[in-house]
Amino acid sequence: MHISFTDPTLPVSGTVAAGVYSGGELSSAAIELDKLTGGTLSRAIKADRFNGDAEQLLNIVAPANTDLERIVLFGLGDRNNASTIAVENAGGLFAVKAANLSISATTTLLDTPEQAAHFAYGVMLGGYRFDKYRTKEALLPATLTELKVAVARPEVAEKLFGPLLAVAEGVYITRDLIWEPANVINPESYAHFCRSLTSEGLEVEILGEEAMHELGMGALLGVGQGSDRESQLVILKHNGGGPVNGAEGSEVPIAFIGKGVTFDTGGLSLKPSVTMDTMKQDMGGAATVTGLMVALAKRRAKVNAVGVLGLVENMPDSKAQRPSDVVKTMSGQTVEVMNTDAEGRLVLCDALTYTQRYLKPKAMIDLATLTSAIAIALGEEIAGVFSNNDELVTKVIAAGDAVAESVWRMPMGSYFSKRLTSDIADMRNNGNKPRLGGSGVAAQFLHNFIENDTPWVHMDIAGTAWTDEAFPTKPKGATAFGVRLLDRMIQDYFEK
């Protein structure tokens, strides 16, 4: 999609769009359109009961006194309280409407540069499609290919849009990775893709199984031992905050760790076939970290950040680990594997230990499609967060609220620790009371691998990484939940 910002001149043909505030109050741009059409907009608003509330659209075909094909009005909500979220949602809904009406090019009139930038951002987020494998033209949905945004001071809008575009491109990468089928994305091909990210300015390091064996990553390697695809640990570095590698005055990085199970059969604890086709999504945490790191690099964020991806494939093979196997983690702690389908925490625990010992971050946030229990508790729009640090988790919550990616803090503590008691090892990998407190037990397991009270947040995105229902800026399918949230958190609290 080509997006440009231009001076606010009313177009004479094609499709034009403009905003309306709650109560049917026309925006400045819509007022000019109303004059041009002899009051057509005002009459259509009254006739259609369109009142300008957020997420409303009104399509006016062949408006009077013009050669325009149509005018599309979008609701912006309360004029005195209009948020960037409302503007972004308007853009996302407009992108869908344009596709449904086979509109390929349009001019949108906005009142301020801020509105213009965030509307275009919403159009990108809501207009995303994954059509890579559609070969028949009839199956290809229409898409908006050219968006002109007309606004006073277009150069200001374009400057504001630059960082938003970087984040949108990160979102696209995350969504693409999650949508890809598991015969395309596996640990090795994912790592190969990450090598290409050096072109974005990221440093990339990849550890194979031999290196991980030497480090003692028995938990992560145990998950992948039933697959003929070699497990990988990928480290992505963005050095935008100053000197690194222990140099004088160096900025300690913030770390993001992603679970990357590129396909999860459940291993020998085999999943039901009715849901297994969705298990290509089980690398959603790693995909989110990847998209975030690309966004930081593209917008040249003034922060040092590292992303660590634990990439495995969990398959049932004669070499696969068995229920009751005991593995030794990189931390030295031992785990009795009671359920091979509780594998994500085994991947993350070794990735967390590696991150702390070799990258020495100031704080860590891990993301994982970890438990179905969190989706049962919070649904598809709210992620669960667990933390050992009130200050860090408060920043995560605030950033989520700011970008409409809500999270809810969940409890941890001795109740969940007791559920992890093993008869023969330091801990077991699932709770000893199945189906009770599953998300809390998983988080408590991970907490056992946090060293020296490193500030840490665990984000369980099992319910939010994928949606079967379209939202204004999140089309059906992969959502990239967390990319916008964590980018905002870095902007607000960690950038210089």
- Kindly name the residue from 70, 271, 302, 360 that is annotated as catalytic: 271
| Plot region of 404 (φ>0 → left; ψ -120 to 50 → alpha; else → beta) | left
Question: Is the torsion defined by CA of 45, 50, 55, 60 positive or negative?
Answer: negative
Examine the residue annotation and report whether 271 is marked as an active-site residue of this protein: yes
Kindly provide the b/e burial profile for residues 348-372, where b requires at least 16 CB atoms within 10 angstroms of the residue's own CB.
bbbbbbbbbeebebebbbbbbbbbe
Check whether 282 is labelled as a binding-site residue.
yes
CA–CA separation, 5 and 152 (whole Å): 9
Examine the residue annotation and report whether 345 is marked as an active-site residue of this protein: yes
Q: At what angle do helices 154-179 and 284-298 cross, to 10 degrees?
A: 150
* Residue 305, H or E segment: strand 304-314
Check whether 264 is labelled as a binding-site residue.
yes
What pairs with residue 456 in β-bridges?
364
Strands (E), 104-226: 105-109, 146-150, 203-207
What is residue 172's three-state secondary structure? helix
CA–CA separation, 38 and 63 (whole Å): 9
Helices (H), 299-384: 344-354, 372-378
* Residue 213, H or E segment: helix 209-215
| Number of separate helices (H) and strands (E) present in the chain | 16, 20
Task: Centre a 10 Å sphere on the Cβ of residue 140 and count the other Cβ atoms it contains.
Answer: 11
Check whether 343 is labelled as a binding-site residue.
yes
CA–CA separation, 404 and 348 (whole Å): 27
Check whether 88 is labelled as a binding-site residue.
no
203 φ, ψ (degrees, to nearest 5): -85, 135
Which residue do the tokens 């509330």 mark? 53
Check whether 169 is labelled as a binding-site residue.
no
Q: Residue 449 contacts by C-beta under 8 Å, 6 or more apart in sequence?
A: 329, 331, 333, 349, 352, 353
Amino acid found at 380: E
- Chain-centre distance for alpha carbon 77: 26
- Kindly name the residue from 298, 345, 395, 488 that is annotated as catalytic: 345
Q: Residue 15 contacts by C-beta under 8 Å, 6 or more apart in sequence?
A: 68, 69, 70, 71, 72, 98, 103, 105, 106, 107
What residues form the annotated binding site?
Answer: 259, 264, 282, 341, 343
What residues form the annotated binding site for Mn(2+)?
Answer: 259, 264, 282, 341, 343
State the catalytic residues: 271, 345
